[in-house]
């Protein structure tokens, strides 16, 4: 099953557009719990509430080889029915980017990855050739500094829109999605219009201050799906105590239900 | 000693602007030689001929945990007098990019890294705060597809020039450099004029078809240094036989001398 189908199947069966970011940070995790134990407990507590998981590789790389082992083991303990998005934001050229694609898809076995578009279409081609995988192109990122380049106007059109239109053009295998920050809900609306059928991965809810209601309403397609609403810290660090997994479950239920209430137009 | 000083010291003492890319590819390496053995032999054969080494992380990641162990061990066997540029092209936001900076500078101990500017200035700040390290911002990449976005005009100015001007503005610690592909020698000239004092890392010689003469002449500053000319495959895969290290040494001498002849105006 390709990534898009796997994602929609999980979203429908769990009635959830919520993606949980698995970003282990020793300073925020409960004391005495290993990264793998932490992730396992979070996954066991939430796998029936999410449409996907999204580990960001930076947090694992910061822990060296042991961190990467924990990442591989984490991917291994996510149920096959729930897709895993490797948030790697990679970008390089030619034979180099082939090596990244191999590492992410064949090594870790991610169902999808995030990539950086700055190097252009040929730099993404080796990712796209994995036709069953999902490729989320950074389009409009959630940080304030995204304005530095993404907002620049090319013939009155901001760069992030140009990126979205290029993504449409490159999408010959139908496996491209966009990353658009929840902190820019009006841009989500505009990009959803430009790319009516693409998956949109939306980080920036919670700590970063994105507006969940606007992100959901503006992000979904006409079938009210195809938006993936990510939350990391708000869910996995809901408690630093022994009850962290239970607290994560409660936070995930709350957010999933809130998302669903916006979908119903409440 | 900070990265810029370490780089210039190595360049002067070895009379070389040559950087050797340590990009191990099992299909091109001599049979029966491990990645670490291969790199060690290349380093022993060339460390007195280069101003820096540049391992690209993709090739190591493609080999899984063992590849990353080999990368760490490779960095460990490069003499302290020769700086190491981790070619990672990372980019992410806030606390995430902090984790990448920690992984690259504190974990692997790179003297410098390459980063992707698409996410904007705040996304690079955690790298820049390592004041003694070098941060090479992707500006004009060597691949044909770099035109897709980097050539787009913002008020008649191509995006890669806007990136260079922003890099100047962000350079409060004096530790930013640019990455500019040898395949665009006229752009190297223009960027050198915009950033007269910055280090410019120039990949794209050899296999990619960049013009060495133009890259060197256009890349150096007024003191005829501050350009780092990278070659990977042309040096490390000069031979696939048992004599690969000796062949790499010969190729490195040839290229270093050719670079120096262009500097003398031959």
What pTM does this model have?
0.97
Measured distance CA(B248)–CA(A13) in Å, rounded? 57
Q: Residue A107 and residue A102: Cα distance in Å, rounded?
A: 6
Nearest C-alpha neighbor of A64 from the set B37, B44, B106, B127: B106
Q: What is the pLDDT of residue A206?
A: 78
Q: What's the mean pLDDT in B118-129?
A: 98
Cβ-defined contact of A91 to B147 (cutoff 8 Å): no
CB pairs under 8 A between A and B: 164
Name which of A1, A5, A80, A87 is nearest A43 in CA terms. Answer: A80
- Give the model confidence (pLDDT) of B19-64 as tens digits: 999 999 999 999 999 999 999 999 999 999 999 999 999 999 999 9
pLDDT of amino acid A265: 78
Above 70 in pLDDT, residue A259? yes
Express each pLDDT in A33-51 by its tens digit.
999 999 999 999 999 999 9
- Give tens-digit pLDDT for B95-106: 899 999 999 999
Query: b/e map of B46-83 (b: 16 or more CB within 10 Å)?
Result: bbbbbbbbbbbbbbbbbbbbebbbbbeebbeebeeebb
Q: CA nearest B117: which of B150, B145, B143?
A: B150
d(CA A143, CA B139): 20
Residue A114 sits at the chain B interface (C-beta within 8 Å)? no
pLDDT at A266 over 70: no
Whether chain B has a CB inside 8 Å of the CB on A58: the answer is: yes
d(CA A252, CA A20): 8
Closest to B103 measured CA to CA, from B72, B131, B134: B72
pLDDT of residue B206: 78
Q: Smallest CA–CA separation between A45 and chain B, in Å?
A: 24
CA-CA-CA-CA torsion sign (B106, B107, B112, B113)? negative
ipTM topping 0.95:
yes
Nearest CA-CA partner of A112 in A38, A172, A200, A28: A200
Give the Cα separation of B50 and A89 in Å (integer).
Answer: 31
Q: E-strand spans in B56-148?
A: 85-90, 112-115, 134-140
Average pLDDT over residues A175-188: 97
Q: How distant is the Cα of A207 from the closest Cα of chain B, in angstroms?
A: 11
Listed by number, the residues of chain A in 63-82 with a beta carbon closer than 8 Å to a beta carbon of chain B are: 64-65, 68-69, 72
Q: What are phi and psi of A205, to 5 degrees?
A: -80, 150
pLDDT at A208 over 80: no
What mean pLDDT do residues A61-83 have? 97
By the 10 Å C-beta count (0-12 exposed, 13-18 middle, 19+ buried), B23 is classed as: buried
On whether any CB of chain A is under 8 Å from the CB of B151, the answer is: no
d(CA A180, CA A183): 9
The pLDDT score that the predictor gives to residue B231 is 96
Are B92 and A56 inside 8 Å of each other by CB? yes
Domains annotated on chain B, with CATH: 3-261 (3.20.20.70)
Rounded alpha-carbon distances, angstroms, from residue B239 to B24, B33, B242: 13, 13, 8
B163 close to A (CB below 8 A): yes
Give residue for tokens 């050198």: B192
List CB contacts (< 8 A) between B154 and chain A. 152-154
Tokens 């493609």 locate to: B62
Of B90, B119, B142, the CB nearest to A141: B119
The answer to whether residue A89 is catalytic is yes
Instruction: Determine the pLDDT at residue B266.
Output: 60
Residues on chain A touching B88 (C-beta within 8 angstroms): none
The confidence band for B94, taking pLDDT boundaries of 50, 70 and 90, is: confident
Give the whole-angstrom CA distance, residue A127 versus residue A100: 8
| B32 Cβ neighbours under 8 A, 6+ residues apart | none
Are the beta carbons of A121 and B148 separated by less than 8 Å? yes
Give the separation between CA A50 and CA A252, rounded to whole angstroms: 8
- The 3-state DSSP class for residue B181 equals coil
Average model confidence (pLDDT) across chain B: 96
CB A113 within 8 A of CB A104: yes
In this structure, what are the phi and psi dihedrals at residue B126, rounded to the nearest 5 degrees? -60, -25
Catalytic residue from among B9, B89, B166, B224:
B89
Residue A23 sits at the chain B interface (C-beta within 8 Å): yes
């Amino acid at each position: 099953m390709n990534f898009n189908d796997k994602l929609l199947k999980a979203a429908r069966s769990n009635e959830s557009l919520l993606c949980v970011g698995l970003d282990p940070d020793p300073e925020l995790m409960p004391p005495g719990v290993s990264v793998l134990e932490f992730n396992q407990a979070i996954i066991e507590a939430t796998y029936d509430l999410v449409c996907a998981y999204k580990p960001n590789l930076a947090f694992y790389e910061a822990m060296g080889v042991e961190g990467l082992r924990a990442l591989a083991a984490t991917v291994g303990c996510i149920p096959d029915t729930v897709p895993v998005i490797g948030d790697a934001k990679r970008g390089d050229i030619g034979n180099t980017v082939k090596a990244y694609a191999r590492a992410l898809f064949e090594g870790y076995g991610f169902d999808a990855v995030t990539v950086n578009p700055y190097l252009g279409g040929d730099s993404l081609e080796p990712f796209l050739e994995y036709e069953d995988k999902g490729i989320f192109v950074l389009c409009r990122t959630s940080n304030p500094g995204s304005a530095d380049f993404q907002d620049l106007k090319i013939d009155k059109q901001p760069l992030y829109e140009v990126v979205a239109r290029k993504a449409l053009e490159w999408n010959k295998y139908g496996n491209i999605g966009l990353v658009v920050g929840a902190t820019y809900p009006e841009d989500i609306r505009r990009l959803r219009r430009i790319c009516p059928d693409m998956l949109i991965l939306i980080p920036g809810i919670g700590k970063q201050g994105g507006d969940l209601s606007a992100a959901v309403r503006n992000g979904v397609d006409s079938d009210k799906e195809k938006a993936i609403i990510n939350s990391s810290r708000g869910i996995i660090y809901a408690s630093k105590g022994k009850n962290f997994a239970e607290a994560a479950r409660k936070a995930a239920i709350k957010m999933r239900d809130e998302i669903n209430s916006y979908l119903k137009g409440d």
